[in-house]
């Protein structure tokens, strides 16, 4: 089953240019990592911050992600002089996917916009949730500027959630404007998902313009 790993880092904004120079050098070698399908990099500006960076890696499966972990850690360690605190890592298996007809791929995804939404989830309702997700495809196809969606299960302790069981919905759009314009349609889909969520209704959102993309 495909696997995704999100790395969220807080950095010193005064060192942004130097950080990006080092990061770009490392990104030039991501094609050397076996089992790595794609990489997406963007700043997180959802809450108005200017010092958060998100690096997302998509892998063939969990085994490929685990095999690459030490290599990725070594690459990310080159950013340590720019990063404040420990990076936040969220990862899990991708359980559902949507790709719009004619959606761009590879380097053609830039310009683009990523939006990651994480919510607590009731794992006992997984099958029903997947059936519901399938039922939304017709609506999703009608959303202008929506390119693709990946939904991954994320499990583990977090200070932000009472439940250890969560899902992250990663959506790719043509632009922030397209993402904002889709909020009303997205709201109706999220309303239908309420029965599959745990008691905690709050959603955590990370989003920003893509600055780098790699696809195998």
Domain range for 166: 3-215
Q: What are the Cα distances from residue 202, in Å, to 30, 85, 152, 165, 205? A: 35, 25, 18, 14, 10
* 3-state percent helix, strand, coil for the chain, nearest multiple of 5: 35, 35, 30
pLDDT of 201 > 60? The answer is no
Yes or no: say if 80 and 12 are a contact pair by the CB < 8 Å rule.
Answer: no
- The pLDDT of residue 161 is 56
pLDDT of 186 > 80? The answer is yes
CATH number at residue 121: 3.30.70.100
Query: Helix 183-193 and helix 126-135: axis angle, to 10°?
Result: 150
pLDDT of 159 > 60? The answer is no
Q: What are the Cα distances from residue 107, in Å, to 32, 41, 119, 167, 215? A: 17, 12, 30, 27, 7
pLDDT of 68 > 90? The answer is yes
Mean pLDDT of the chain: 90
pLDDT of 157 > 60? The answer is no
Yes or no: say if 143 and 182 are a contact pair by the CB < 8 Å rule.
Answer: yes
pLDDT of 105 > 90? The answer is no
- The pLDDT of residue 163 is 65
- The mean per-residue pLDDT over the stretch 118-126 comes to 90
Yes or no: say if 147 and 107 are a contact pair by the CB < 8 Å rule.
Answer: no
- The pLDDT of residue 137 is 96
- The pLDDT of residue 3 is 97
- The mean per-residue pLDDT over the stretch 170-187 comes to 93
- The pLDDT of residue 202 is 59
Radius of gyration of the chain (CA): 17
- Greatest Cα pair distance in the chain: 47
User: What is the number of domains present in the chain?
Assistant: 1
* SS (HEC) of 72-102: HHHHHHCCCCCECCCCEEEEEEEEEEEECCC
pLDDT classification of 91: cutoffs 50, 70, 90: very high
pLDDT classification of 132: cutoffs 50, 70, 90: very high
- The pLDDT of residue 200 is 56
């Amino acid at each position: 089953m495909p696997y995704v790993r999100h790395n969220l880092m807080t950095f010193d904004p005064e060192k942004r240019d130097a950080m990006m120079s080092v990061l770009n050098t490392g990104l030039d070698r991501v094609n050397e990592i076996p089992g790595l399908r794609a990489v997406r990099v963007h700043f997180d500006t959802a809450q108005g911050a200017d010092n958060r960076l998100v690096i997302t890696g998509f892998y063939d499966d969990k085994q490929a992600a685990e095999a690459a972990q030490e290599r990725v850690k070594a690459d990310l360690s080159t950013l340590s002089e720019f990063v404040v605190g420990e990076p936040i890592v969220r990862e899990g298996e991708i359980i559902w996917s949507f790709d719009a007809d004619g959606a761009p791929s590879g380097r053609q995804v830039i310009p683009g916009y990523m939006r990651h939404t994480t919510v607590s989830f009731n794992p006992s309702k997984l099958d029903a949730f997947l059936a519901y997700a399938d039922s939304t495809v017709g609506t999703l196809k009608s959303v202008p500027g929506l390119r693709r969606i990946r939904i991954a299960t994320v499990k583990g302790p977090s200070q932000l959630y009472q439940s250890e069981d969560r899902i992250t919905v990663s959506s790719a759009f043509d632009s922030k404007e397209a993402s904002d314009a889709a909020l009303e349609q997205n709201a109706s889909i999220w309303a239908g998902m309420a029965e599959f969520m745990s008691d905690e209704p709050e959603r955590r959102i990370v989003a920003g313009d893509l600055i780098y993309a790699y696809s195998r």
